[in-house]
């Protein structure tokens, strides 16, 4: 089969079209640069990568706390509760409403409970794990002499019995392999009972560049929203005192929420967390209505709290005014820090905002950049409007 060569005229036209498209792209990017959009997005993406990849399972949140302190710098007054939650305070007028932005900084993980004579590590789970997402996954064991690479061991399918093939391996039967020949070598490497173990996964931008894969989005994306809002408040006046709180040990019982709310005694609380995202095969819309990329999810109900309805309606009103996309979340099987916060003393007006997240409580999960940015914009706007008069109105409803 012969191939016909294009004419010189056709090549000339093609070159001109390519050149014109290139020039338009350059002009568009130049405008974005002038407006500060590209550097801002890139900077946010860098912080998200660090938030996701930083290790900090429940009870061992130190590295994440250090990162948050770096992120906030001198933008807010810093304090702590005695359990380890870090509190960033943006002071407002005297006698103004006190508003708590709560985002837990711990992630699910494991802790070493026993070292076998063969050098394998038995562990307890920190937070809610489903056995089917655990086997053969890489982990980081935080030994006394440094971090070690590990993998949760599993039997190859070649040696499984027909009965074993139909059953899920129990957590109690799992172990971590760190490449040690025996118990003595494992201990020589710095492993002891009580060492923390973190899931290992690297941050990555997926297909459209806005869909983000990483570990610990529950709830590092909530921390990102909280710190961005606090950053915004450091640049403008607001009619309230705001506490940005990175709570500890949420995944093992909402513990940091209890101690920090006891310390702060807020009037209003916005809990910023994640929710199960629908829109994937096998997940019905009535079970998980929120989808990634469709807006911040406002919780209607979870197993630990019915959010304040007046506050919910206020959020929807502000979102409508600013044309910020929102959707709803319902969680019959999980709860957030709001479960403890809203019951403090005589009660705290509390609402939960969630970033829809696919594959939650596993080594890797998926979120969307637009939902995160929308959450920052909505919460910042609500804070700016929540003055003493508005708080009084909310109490009456």
Catalytic annotation, residues: 250
Q: Judging by DSSP bridges, how do beta strands 268-276 and 211-214 pair with one another?
A: unpaired
Asked whether the beta carbons of 116 and 293 are under 8 A apart, the reply is: no
Helix (H) or strand (E) holding 101: strand 98-104
Helix (H) or strand (E) holding 126: strand 121-126
Asked whether the beta carbons of 154 and 132 are under 8 A apart, the reply is: no
DSSP symbols for 344-361: STT--EEEEEEEEEBT-S
Structure tokens at 259: 């101690």
Rounded to whole angstroms, how far apart are CA atoms 273 and 256? Answer: 14
CA dist 153 → 90, 107, 136, 139, 162 (Å): 47, 21, 6, 11, 20
Beta-carbon contacts of 206 under 8 Å, excluding residues fewer than 6 positions away, are 212, 213, 366
> What are the two backbone dihedrals, phi and then psi, of residue 137, each rounded to the nearest 5 degrees?
-90, 140
């Amino acid at each position: 089969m012969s191939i016909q060569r294009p004419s010189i005229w056709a090549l000339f036209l093609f070159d001109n079209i390519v050149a014109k498209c290139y020039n338009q792209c350059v002009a568009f990017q130049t405008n974005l640069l002038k407006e500060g959009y590209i550097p801002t997005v890139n900077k946010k993406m860098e912080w998200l990568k660090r938030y996701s990849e930083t290790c900090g399972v429940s009870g061992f949140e130190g590295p994440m706390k250090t990162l948050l302190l770096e992120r906030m710098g001198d933008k807010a007054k810093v304090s702590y509760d005695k359990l380890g939650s870090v509190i960033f305070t943006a002071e407002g007028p005297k006698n103004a409403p006190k508003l708590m932005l709560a985002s837990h900084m711990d992630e699910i993980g494991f802790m070493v409970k026993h070292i076998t004579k063969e050098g394998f590590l038995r562990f307890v789970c920190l937070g809610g794990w489903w056995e089917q997402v655990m086997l053969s996954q890489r982990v980081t064991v935080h030994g006394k002499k440094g971090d070690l690479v590990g993998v949760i061991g599993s039997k190859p399918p070649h040696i499984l019995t027909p009965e074993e093939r139909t059953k899920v391996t129990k957590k109690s039967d799992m172990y971590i392999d760190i490449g040690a020949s025996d118990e003595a070598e494992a201990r020589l490497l710095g492993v002891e009972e009580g060492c923390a173990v973190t899931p290992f996964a690297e941050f990555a931008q997926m297909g459209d560049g806005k869909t983000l894969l990483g570990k610990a989005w529950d709830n590092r994306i909530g921390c990102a929203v909280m710190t961005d809002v606090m950053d915004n408040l450091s640049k403008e006046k607001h009619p309230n005192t705001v506490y940005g709180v990175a709570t500890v040990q949420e995944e093992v019982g909402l513990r940091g929420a209890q101690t920090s709310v006891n310390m702060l005694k807020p009037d209003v609380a916005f809990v910023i967390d994640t929710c199960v995202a629908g829109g994937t095969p096998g997940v019905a819309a009535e079970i998980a209505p929120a989808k990634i990329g469709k807006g911040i999810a406002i919780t209607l109900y979870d197993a630990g709290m019915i959010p304040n309805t007046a506050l919910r309606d206020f959020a929807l009103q502000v979102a409508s005014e600013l044309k910020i996309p929102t959707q709803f979340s319902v969680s019959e099987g999980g709860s957030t820090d709001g479960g403890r916060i809203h019951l403090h003393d005589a009660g705290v007006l509390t609402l939960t905002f969630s970033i829809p997240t696919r594959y939650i409580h596993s080594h890797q999960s998926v979120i969307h950049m637009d939902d995160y940015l929308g959450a920052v914009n909505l919460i910042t706007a609500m804070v700016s409007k929540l003055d003493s008069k508005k708080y009084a109105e909310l109490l009456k409803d």
